[in-house]
Amino acid sequence: MNILDRFLKYVSIDTQSNEDSTSQPSTAKQLNLLKLLRDELEAFGVEATLDEYGYVMASIPSNLDHEVPSVGFIAHVDTAPDAPGDGIKPQIIKNYDGGEIPLKGVPGLSLKPSEFPEMLHYKGQTLITTDGTTLLGADDKAGVAEIMDAVQYIVAHPEFKHGPIKIGFTPDEEIGRGVVKFDVKRFGADYAYTMDGGEIGELEFENFNAASAKIHIQGCNVHPGYAKGKMRNAILIGQELCALLPVSERPEYTEGYEGFFHLISFKGEVEQADFAYIIRDHDRARFEDRKALMVKVVDFINSKYGAGTAVLVLKDSYYNMREQVEPHYHIVEKAVKAMEMAGVKPKIQPIRGGTDGANLSFKGLPCPNIFAGGLNFHGKMEFVPLESMEKASEVILNLVSLFAE
């Protein structure tokens, strides 16, 4: 099976995760793809397991006569809850001409180079887009397809020299729980790579430190005609709280290494309101300062309106993997060389987000992130160039060869 057919097969399976669920995996439908992947690996003759938590782990023994480190490749199967993830109808645009691409599921909607100029980097290539009604799922089914394509090559070419190879597929990455119960020791890799980056050439070993902040505002509702001195409008108190945070430190005003406070949801009425934030910063000290500012803001609201008006639940999500990967910088250097061998120009940059690799690195498995090829993740404008997926698969094979030296 070629990589395009494999990718189209995987995106046809709805695997959206659910942040409100307490199960692992968070949605049973993710198991449909995870079981398929286990079965496909076994059909290749590769030993593979699927455990109770939804982790597929597979191992390809070394065919060398000397010991080398074992290298792993990991991708997540779930898609983000930010846009519909079922009934995906991909469009395949061959020999892209550089113009607008109509997304035929929604009249008048199109992918426009004027809005997404990076499209022009892929003129003459084959682009896979959505039809405008769903996301595509290249995050991270492109990575899944790339890993499986490389495995297919390795088992079909016994002359290809390699050390021990470990394969992992995970659920629930999009809701921050992708490797909570991942058994690094059982996985058995010395080093690993997540195939979960964006456009071709991306290589990342730095990510945000991340926290969530959930704030409950307790107001007091009385008839508005008799409200003077009695009513406390939870919506307005929440707005006041939000206004105390720096406007310039919202996602829409930041880039590169700049962190932010991001209001991701609001639900409220006069009596009570709930606000949910995510807090992000690459620098650990600034990250701690941001959390401290959130506490200070909540304390101010309580001093003004009374104790218990605002209740904050602040929780760390993950940390910057750089401190765990940098002592093993040779794995970054190998990824650079593997890309160059494939004719890809490496672009080392910080992730303005997180990956399973961040938590895996803190579990003792240094795990940089390599491009999967997709763009505009988590939305209806998502697309992936076929040639980028092909190059990613080639990079995997090059890495395997480099670790075999």
Instruction: Please confirm, yes or no, whether 274 is among the known catalytic residues.
Output: no
Tell me the C-alpha distance between 127 and 39, whole Å.
Answer: 29
- At residue 228's C-alpha, the angle toward residues 223 and 231, to 5°, is 60
CA 114 to chain centroid, in Å, comes to 26
* Contacts of residue 226, Cβ cutoff 8 Å, sequence gap at least 6: none
Tell me the C-alpha distance between 27 and 18, whole Å.
Answer: 6
Backbone angles phi, psi at 36, to 5 degrees: -60, -45
Instruction: Please confirm, yes or no, whether 174 is among the known catalytic residues.
Output: no
Residue with tokens 């109770």: 52
Burial of 107 (0-12, 13-18, 19+ CB in 10 A): exposed
Which residue in the list 14, 40, 78, 382 is annotated as catalytic? 78
Q: What interhelical angle do 330-341 and 386-403 show, nearest 10?
A: 130
For residues 73 and 167, is the Cβ–Cβ distance under 8 A?
A: yes
Tell me the C-alpha distance between 57 and 42, whole Å.
Answer: 11
Q: What is the DSSP code (8-state) at residue 54?
A: S
CA 247 to chain centroid, in Å, comes to 26
* Contacts of residue 375, Cβ cutoff 8 Å, sequence gap at least 6: 116, 118, 198, 199, 382, 383, 384
Task: Indicate the SS3 state at residue 377.
Answer: coil
Query: How many Å is the maximal CA-CA distance in the chain?
Result: 86
Question: Cα separations (Å) of 394 from 44, 55, 205, 269, 274?
Answer: 19, 25, 20, 54, 47
* The two structure tokens encoding residue 24: 């692992």
For the chain, the distance separating the N- and C-terminal CA atoms, rounded to the nearest angstrom, is 29
* 69-92: burial string, b at 16+ Cβ within 10 Å, e else: ebbbbbbbbbbbbebebeebebbe
The continuous run of DSSP H or E covering 339 comes out as: helix 330-341
Which residue in the list 173, 204, 249, 382 is annotated as catalytic? 173
List residues with catalytic annotation.
78, 173
